[in-house]
């Protein structure tokens, strides 16, 4: 008795989580778009609900956080490099199999369906065969791999020197949620108070659901990001500028310390976010906001202090934004540091003689740290080192020169922190 032709495996009509994750990862690796930008560009994300978008974000971030390891797992099972979209499907499959504990049949089946939905049907058999072999190998596929080193591009690993290993090991973990409290406000009941005063909650906590959020009792700010504004040590009534101010956490710190703050931000979208945050915190009437280029803006009267959190490579934020590892290139640093020097010179010109400047970047790159200190000194700014007393809560972050250097490997057992460099100067 003859059998009819075999029916083709049914392709899932929709799978928004994996479709969005595919768009995100492909946007990062092929177009060098940031994760959040890729999410907004994803056609699949436009009509997806919040749960699917959140699940896709987590899946894509896991792929990006462990992309070097996942690529090495695939290598023995591939005779030649597949096209970039096919490789993204395979990376998503590996992440599900080995990092997210997705059942093998689901991880393989959804990857094959994803390939077909994305017009990659000629490669569906390859995806099926490779991922089945990965599933058979199981956790053994990870044995002997130096995952920390594989998951950081070689140029970044080399640039981080002795910090490379502790930083890379910390980047493998999802970052917790850190909050800065208004003076006198109570933090969420489950929060852990860190030595620097920030309150820490587990990764994945939804800040908008926390009691006190709508009332402006706190704002999201990594424990390391909260330090530069404190180290500016403003006093009530001082005239202060916060340059490149969005999203506004540092502006809020300065205003709540009693300073007369002007917040300068160039990008309209970021300025809208800054004002929205200040409004929630009840500070919108206490801060002058200026949408404009900080290089060109000047105050009417010379200032007592300036906080410059300059645009940078953002490699210190890779725990939260693993896409940074894969979209930045060494050649990007030249333009970034030139912009930082222009901002340093502008900040100098805003200050009265003896006025203070804190320069900060959320970067681990030496070009955006010590080398900018030397450039600032050449501009006529005088170093004003942070004291042991000022960094008593985090003494390991004080360099021999008196600068601040945090990195994700600090407080590793408590969840780490972002990488920041900061230095303080006075105008001669």
Which residues are known to be catalytic? 362
Q: Shortest CA distance to 401 belongs to which of 376, 419, 380, 379?
A: 376
CA 158, 164, 168, 169 torsion: positive or negative? positive
Annotation-wise, does 46 bind a ligand? no
Which stretches of 186-283 are DSSP H helices? 227-232, 249-256, 268-280
* 250 among annotated binding-site residues: yes
Tell me the Ramachandran region of residue 191: left when phi exceeds 0, alpha when psi lies from -120 to 50, beta otherwise: beta
Q: Is 312 annotated as a binding residue?
A: no
The answer to whether 409 is a known ligand-binding residue is no
244 is in an annotated binding site: yes
Known binding residue 246? Answer is yes
Q: Is 249 annotated as a binding residue?
A: yes
d(CA 421, CA 27): 29
Beta bridge partners, 360, equal: 309, 422
- Please give the Cα distance from 94 to 69 (Å, whole number): 10
Pairwise CA distance, residues 22 & 365, whole Å: 30
Distance (Å, rounded) from C-alpha 382 to C-alpha 149? Answer: 38
248 is in an annotated binding site: yes
The CA angle 121-125-128, to the nearest 5 degrees, is 115
Q: Determine whether the annotation assigns residue 260 to a binding site.
A: no
Of 291, 283, 304, whose CA–CA distance to 243 is shortest? 291
80 in a labelled binding site: no
Q: Which residues are annotated as a binding site?
A: 244-250, 265, 293, 309
Q: Which residues are annotated as a binding site for S-adenosyl-L-methionine?
A: 244-250, 265, 293, 309
């Amino acid at each position: 008795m003859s059998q009819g032709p075999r029916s083709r495996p049914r392709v899932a009509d929709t799978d928004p989580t994996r479709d969005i994750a595919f768009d995100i990862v492909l946007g990062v690796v092929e177009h060098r778009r940031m994760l959040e930008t890729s999410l907004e560009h994803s056609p699949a994300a436009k009509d997806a609900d919040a749960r699917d978008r959140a699940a896709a974000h987590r899946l894509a971030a896991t792929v990006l956080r462990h992309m070097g390891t996942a690529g090495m797992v695939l290598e023995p099972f591939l005779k030649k490099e597949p096209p970039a979209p096919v490789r993204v499907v395979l990376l998503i499959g590996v992440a599900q199999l080995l990092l997210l504990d997705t059942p093998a049949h689901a991880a393989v089946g959804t990857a094959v369906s994803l390939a077909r939905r994305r017009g990659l049907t000629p490669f569906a058999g390859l995806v099926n065969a490779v991922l089945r072999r990965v599933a058979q190998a199981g956790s053994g596929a990870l044995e002997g791999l130096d995952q920390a080193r594989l998951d950081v591009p070689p140029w970044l690993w080399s640039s981080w020197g002795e910090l490379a290993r502790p930083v890379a090991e910390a980047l493998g973990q999802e970052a917790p949620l850190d909050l800065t409290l208004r003076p006198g406000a109570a933090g969420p009941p489950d929060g852990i108070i860190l030595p620097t005063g920030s309150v820490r909650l587990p990764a994945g906590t939804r800040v908008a659901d926390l009691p006190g959020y709508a009332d402006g009792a706190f704002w999201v700010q990594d424990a390391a990001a909260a330090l530069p504004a404190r180290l500016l040590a403003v006093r009530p009534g001082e005239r202060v500028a916060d340059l490149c101010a969005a999203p506004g956490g540092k502006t809020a710190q300065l205003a709540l310390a009693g300073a007369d703050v002007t917040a300068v931000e160039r990008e309209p979208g970021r300025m809208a976010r800054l004002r929205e945050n200040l409004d929630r915190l009840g500070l919108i009437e206490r801060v002058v906001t200026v949408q404009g280029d900080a290089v060109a803006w000047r105050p009417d009267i010379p200032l007592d202090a300036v906080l410059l959190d300059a645009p940078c490579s953002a490699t210190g934020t890779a725990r939260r934004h693993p896409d940074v590892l894969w979209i930045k290139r060494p050649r990007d640093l030249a333009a970034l540091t030139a912009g930082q020097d222009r901002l340093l010179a502008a900040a100098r010109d805003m200050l009265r003689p003896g006025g203070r400047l804190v320069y900060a970047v959320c970067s681990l790159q030496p070009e955006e740290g010590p080398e900018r200190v030397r450039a600032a000194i050449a501009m006529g700014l005088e170093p004003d080192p942070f004291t042991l007393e000022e960094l008593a809560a985090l003494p390991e972050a004080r360099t021999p020169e008196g600068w601040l250097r945090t990195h994700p490997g600090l407080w590793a057992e408590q969840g780490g922190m972002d990488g920041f460099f900061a230095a303080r100067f006075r105008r001669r």
